[in-house]
Amino acid sequence: MTDNPTIRIASMDDLEQCVAIDAPNFNIFDRKKRRKHFEEMIPKFGMIVLELKGIIVAYATFDSDWFGCTFLKLVVTDLSVRRQGLASQLIQYIETHFCPSGKFFSSTEDDNDSSKRMHLKQGFTESGWLDNLPQPHREIFYFKKLK
């Protein structure tokens, strides 16, 4: 586990650092689309960042009013600092601060084994899937009921 990460709500000042985060095998967003997504989520207070020594190395975006529940849209950790529990900390932060309904949903593409394992390790269970999206594999949904 990495020492002293700081998690906070993202601001527009974080945009370039977040766009630059290295996630080479995760191509659903090219840089232009990523930027657009962040520009949409930051003003809605729907994006958090995780810093190590003042540098943003991971982020998550979410919707806290998705069918009245919270939905994790995206969580990304820079390639250089994976498997240190950082994405898990972002997920736990959203659970604690942005999940008033106690119902937390998420999803991931079926071929994304690391993400699928991460969801299960974080206590999510599978909750259906969606075919026919413009991506090679079906999208698997996850659900977690918070205590």
Ligand X SMILES: CC(C)(COP(=O)(O)OP(=O)(O)OC[C@H]1O[C@@H](n2cnc3c(N)ncnc32)[C@H](O)[C@@H]1OP(=O)(O)O)[C@@H](O)C(=O)NCCC(=O)NCCS
SS3 59: strand
Alpha-carbon distance of 77 to 24, in angstroms, equals: 11
When binding is defined by CB under 6 A, the residue of 49, 108, 124, 140 that contacts ligand X is: 108
The residue among 84 and 101 lying less far from ligand X, judged by its C-beta, is 84
Alpha-carbon distance of 129 to 132, in angstroms, equals: 10
When binding is defined by CB under 6 A, the residue of 8, 44, 117, 137 that contacts ligand X is: 117
Shortest gap between Cβ of 117 and ligand X (angstroms)? 4
Per CB under 6 A, does 82 bind ligand X? Answer: yes
Q: How many helices (H) and strands (E) does the chain have?
A: 4, 7
The residue among 70 and 115 lying less far from ligand X, judged by its C-beta, is 115
Per CB under 6 A, does 86 bind ligand X? Answer: yes
Amino acid in position 29: F
Residues 19-58 that bind ligand X (CB under 6 A): 23, 26
Reading the block at residue 97, the tokens are 């601060």
Per CB under 6 A, does 138 bind ligand X? Answer: no
